[in-house]
Structure 1
């Protein structure tokens, strides 16, 4: 018996519209410039993470700041053992066991391997954790400004977002905790913020972190804190970890990883520290999205937080000098305001006095200075009128780039009547 092949007409009018979930991540309720959505602005500036041949200040220069020297041998040893290619979804048990005491010491709070999950970078940690906790319509309190993908992932999940302003009492940073207390009556499931703050680099004093913990315990919401940059703080700055506060081992989720300070972003490995039941849900999400964090990269965490005080001190010293160089150059431009903070390798530059949009300024810096910056609108409504730069760059190359940027920004200052 023969069977005729059935002809199938090729549709001529396919609907290729993205899902509603994706369209929500375009942030249609916010404009980056008059008549231009956040998504349209990102596309117009080619902010796709690839650099496009320009000097890209959205991330570390991993040539000038390479990973620790032990990386090569450790990675080669892992790859040479093919039996390590597959691990449980949450991570290799022996890696988790080795991490737990070191993370306990670092956070100042007891951690067991059951409190840990390894993810494809802290970006993977962010997505899998939020996917595990947030339902459609849930209220989430999010710092403003904060890491750009927090808002977009929450929109993808259909959360209701209330922004919590980052404030400064003199030079001391805080969150508007009175607003948090007010909104607690609406039963948020989660408060989330980065610490040190991304994009500003602000490190919150212990009294702020203590009050966050008190509100969480009193009002019944969880807190997720992204501490990716918590090793990158300057001088004698004291960094207070949220998990170390009373009651917060059971109420907090902490994101950690070696991506930035140790320049290991390319290895795509992040760590979630959370209550055991939350870790179980995160593991389910990891299984569906990526199966596991890169298995060979997991082995690198066996050396993370081990005997690297000299490496860390040298790196922070180099970054401090670059920070001072950047501040001196940018502050020489009339109308530019930039306040140094105690953490990260970022500066959040206030150019609101120019009267131009973030898109105009970021676009001009690309065309005239050959430099990609992160426009302020990406980080939340209060970020408008700013841009973020990462100054972790080759010193000579960065000095030349700063000169070009100063020329470009001075042009804006002149047109705004800020130059006599």
Structure 2
């Protein structure tokens, strides 16, 4: 058989495999994912890489809003940046959330979920060779997107703080000055650690961005999922940051709207114009009928979210208490999200080995730490937004599996 004239995967795609991580991982990130069957399918196992949307369904109004829109064929097509009426409603509610005035015509785009919004935003802003500072650890697909776009990624670690790890602003400033960083990307609350940036961290990041005139993309998907009255500070509301911040928002997690595939990007008008162009050439628009669930989001779900946060807080405590029964496992719950980020380094196994043990012996899929950056080696991420009875039994299996495996390693 003749050889293919063209390769199966472009160099852009191959860069997303992160082959250089083989120095510490022993293989590329892509190959490690395939070995662990981390493709989002679940494969009949209990998959803790995402929320249990059976136990935690969307608000009752979501389906009604979608159905009403779907019954009106006139709503099937919208402008590339979203239905005008939906954008107007979102601009009002998002303005109240962020504490800034959002122009519905110029400063907001309805995106294909927060994931699609992230890719559209980075595609609009990043050229090959651009230097982008990325928090370490950070959401698993961000670095892969940046590598796809040809950016050079500079990882910026965290520093310890009583309330949870915080972005190392001194290291970030060194990177901005020394590496030529033009764009900074982070999430708050941070995915995977669950940490919520303190007001001091957010103010410091804002001052740095103004001082060096850099743009910041902040993923605030979990900004409503914060526990124990911890203060939450929106970056875009800081002095000088409305024109230097792109904020990504959505209801896919706290409000379980993930199946509707809609999110929101908010930021300077010229950036929104560029995002609109990316939307036009990639997907034309966010799902047209789904957009209408956003007219109720942030408006009719205040009590819903309050109850949801209380339920997840109880699950956080249950999960942390149970995992601490693994000898040597270190668990420090964050103040936000529905994730824990345990440290397994004392077990004599790395994050890949731990993920394999938990899959094969407990029937549970966890996210190995390598997916979130170099600092993730020796950790894993687990989502505890699960049905309580089944999750309790699964946790018992995980604890037994890890204790037995650690004992075997120690022999």
Q: TM-score range by the shorter chain?
A: over 0.9
Query: Greater shift after overlay, 206-215 or 358-367?
Result: 358-367
Give the equivalent residue in structure 2 for 1:107.
98
d(CA) in 1 for partners of 2:4, 2:142: 35
Give the equivalent residue in structure 2 for 1:86.
77
Aligned equivalent of 1:164, options 139, 156, 175: 156
d(CA) in 2 for partners of 1:163, 1:33: 16
Paired residues for 1:18-417 under 5 Å: 18-31=9-22, 34-113=25-104, 114-185=106-177, 186-417=179-410
User: Could you list the runs of 5+ residues in structure 1 that have no partner in the other structure?
Assistant: 1-9
d(CA) in 2 for partners of 1:384, 1:34: 8
Give the equivalent residue in structure 1 for 2:8.
17
d(CA) in 2 for partners of 1:372, 1:222: 36
TM-superposed CA distance for 1:11, in Å, is 5.1
* Count of aligned residue pairs for this structure pair: 409
| TM-score normalised per structure 1 | 0.95
Q: What's the secondary structure of 1:254's corresponding residue?
A: strand
Query: Greater shift after overlay, 164-173 or 262-271?
Result: 164-173
TM-superposed CA distance for 1:33, in Å, is 6.0
TM-superposed CA distance for 1:74, in Å, is 1.3
Summarize deviations over 1:51-79 as a string: whole Å, max 9, x none.
11110000000000000011222111111
Summarize deviations over 1:125-176 as a string: whole Å, max 9, x none.
1101001101101010000000011000000011111101022133443111
Summarize deviations over 1:169-190 as a string: whole Å, max 9, x none.
3344311111111122233121
d(CA) in 1 for partners of 2:301, 2:110: 21
TM-superposed CA distance for 1:13, in Å, is 4.0
Whose radius of gyration is greater, 1 or 2?
A: 1
User: Structure 2 vs 1, CA of residues 12 and 381 (structure 1 numbering), >3 Å: closer, same or farther?
Assistant: closer
Query: Greater shift after overlay, 373-382 or 164-173?
Result: 164-173
User: Structure 2 vs 1, CA of residues 327 and 172 (structure 1 numbering), >3 Å: closer, same or farther?
Assistant: closer
RMSD: 1.4
Native 8 Å contact 2:19 2:27 kept in 1: no
Q: What's the secondary structure of 1:36's corresponding residue?
A: coil
User: Structure 2 vs 1, CA of residues 158 and 67 (structure 1 numbering), >3 Å: closer, same or farther?
Assistant: same
TM-superposed CA distance for 1:32, in Å, is 8.3
d(CA) in 2 for partners of 1:95, 1:339: 40
d(CA) in 2 for partners of 1:344, 1:12: 48
Give the equivalent residue in structure 2 for 1:3.
none
d(CA) in 2 for partners of 1:161, 1:203: 23
| TM-score normalised per structure 2 | 0.97
